[in-house]
């Protein structure tokens, strides 16, 4: 349960319950969600927003459960223990030989749980931490073209930036595909929760970077890094595509005219692509996963061109959002 991806399996079951309203999925979702119970106290990772937010938090969309609300608030407290007020960021990973206080763009995805915890508890501390982290990220994490670095190393006492690196991307100065998707999704949530235009603008700029990138294939499933040299062997990342589609459906709600049309068309193209060969697996293959062709951590030679549970999670979420919008 301590892997950053542990919330996605129960989360996918909640998404399936949302799609089908079949109680069997709800019962399974409850069973798998509650296996994560002890994570709420864990202060050792920034990933609690994924782990608890996508399981317990997702459940709360369908089920008014006071115990689950308590788990969300406790998890928000644990996540807040990683906040470094002088630097204005939540620390992602523990310090190590290379980095003192690393913060990755993925961390934008953990803020939604903080907003929910404030709504549940009335304690604005969580909300304020989320806003501070997002503002610091806008200030430091983006390049002029609105692509983001994967990792910034901070001095937690001064907020000075010690390094700008990548861990999972092609190189320090490249745009790792899933990182761009996390940023897009994260700033879309920021706008939803605060209604501050600065976050809408940021999300629109990131969307522009992704949708108009010269290396984005016509089917709109990116290679694993927007700057990776493209050959026949370059792996795609279906997870980045699924996250992007889900984010674009939501972002389309906040804009009008041509931009709305562009976001909907782009998201629909991604979903159409992922719903067919070569991405959608036949039942009984692909070790039970829905999607093929995601890339987890290429520089470590890990999870290349494989199914990944978060690709399935965001694909299902995107299908839910698409269906709700059509309704
Ligand atoms: N948050 C870790 C990853 O996207 O691989």
Tell me the pLDDT tens digit for each residue of 162-194: 999 999 999 999 999 999 999 999 999 999 999
- Whole-number pLDDT of residue 188: 98
Predicted confidence band at 260 (pLDDT cuts at 50, 70, 90)? very high
- Whole-number pLDDT of residue 326: 84
Query: Quick one: DSSP state of residue 142?
Result: B
The yes-or-no verdict on residue 12 having pLDDT over 80 is yes
- Mean pLDDT of the 273-285 span: 97
Does any ligand 1 atom lie closer than 6 A to the CB of residue 4?
yes
The yes-or-no verdict on residue 84 having pLDDT over 80 is yes
How much of the chain, in percent, has pLDDT values that exceed 90? 99
- Mean pLDDT of the 229-256 span: 98
Q: In terms of Cα–Cα distance, which of 152, 206, 204, 197 is closest to 178?
A: 206
Q: What is the chain's mean pLDDT, rounded?
A: 98
Closest atom of ligand 1 to 168 CA is: 5
The yes-or-no verdict on residue 327 having pLDDT over 80 is no
Q: Which of the residues are catalytic?
A: 47, 106
Residues 6+ apart with CB under 8 A from 208: 146
Predicted confidence band at 4 (pLDDT cuts at 50, 70, 90)? very high
Per residue in 302-322, pLDDT (tens digit) is 999 999 999 999 999 999 999
Closest atom of ligand 1 to 239 CA is: 4
Q: How far apart are CA 230 and CA 252, in angstroms?
A: 30
Per residue in 39-75, pLDDT (tens digit) is 999 999 999 999 999 999 999 999 999 999 999 999 9
- Whole-number pLDDT of residue 282: 97
Instruction: Write out the DSSP string of 287-315.
Output: GG-SB--EEEEGGGTEEEEE--HHHHHHH
Residue of 4, 235, 241, 244 best suited for mutating to test ligand 1, as the one with most atoms within 8 Å of CB? 4
- Mean pLDDT of the 269-291 span: 97
- Backbone torsions φ then ψ of 218, nearest 5 degrees: -60, -30
């Amino acid at each position: 349960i301590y892997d950053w991806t542990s919330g996605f399996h129960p989360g996918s079951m909640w998404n399936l319950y949302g799609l089908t309203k079949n109680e069997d999925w709800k019962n399974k979702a409850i069973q798998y969600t509650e296996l994560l119970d002890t994570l709420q106290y864990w202060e050792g990772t920034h990933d609690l927003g994924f782990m608890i937010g996508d399981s317990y938090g997702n459940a709360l969309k369908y089920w008014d459960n006071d115990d689950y609300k308590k788990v969300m608030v406790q998890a928000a407290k644990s996540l807040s223990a990683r906040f470094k007020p002088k630097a204005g960021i939540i620390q992602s990973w523990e310090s190590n030989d290379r980095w003192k206080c690393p913060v990755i763009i993925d961390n934008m995805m953990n803020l939604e749980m903080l907003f929910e915890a404030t709504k549940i508890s009335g304690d604005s501390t969580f909300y304020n931490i989320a806003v501070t982290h997002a503002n610091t990220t806008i200030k430091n994490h983006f390049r002029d073209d609105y692509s983001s670095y994967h990792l910034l190393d901070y001095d937690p006492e001064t907020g000075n930036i010690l390094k700008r690196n990548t861990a999972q991307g092609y190189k320090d100065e490249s745009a790792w595909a899933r990182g761009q998707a996390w940023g897009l999704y994260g700033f879309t949530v920021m706008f939803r929760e605060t209604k501050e235009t600065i976050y809408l603008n940021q999300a629109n700029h990131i969307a522009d970077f992704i949708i108009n990138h010269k290396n984005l294939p016509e089917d709109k499933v990116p290679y694993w890094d927007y700057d990776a040299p493209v050959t026949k062997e370059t792996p795609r990342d279906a997870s980045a595509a699924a996250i992007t589609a889900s984010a674009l459906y939501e972002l389309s709600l906040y804009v009008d005219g041509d931009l709305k049309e562009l976001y909907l068309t782009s998201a629909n193209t991604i979903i159409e692509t992922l719903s067919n060969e070569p991405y959608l697996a036949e039942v009984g293959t692909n070790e039970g996963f829905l999607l093929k062709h995601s890339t987890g951590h290429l520089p470590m030679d890990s999870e290349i061109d494989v199914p990944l549970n978060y690709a399935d999670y965001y694909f299902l979420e995107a299908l839910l959002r698409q269906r709700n919008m059509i309704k």
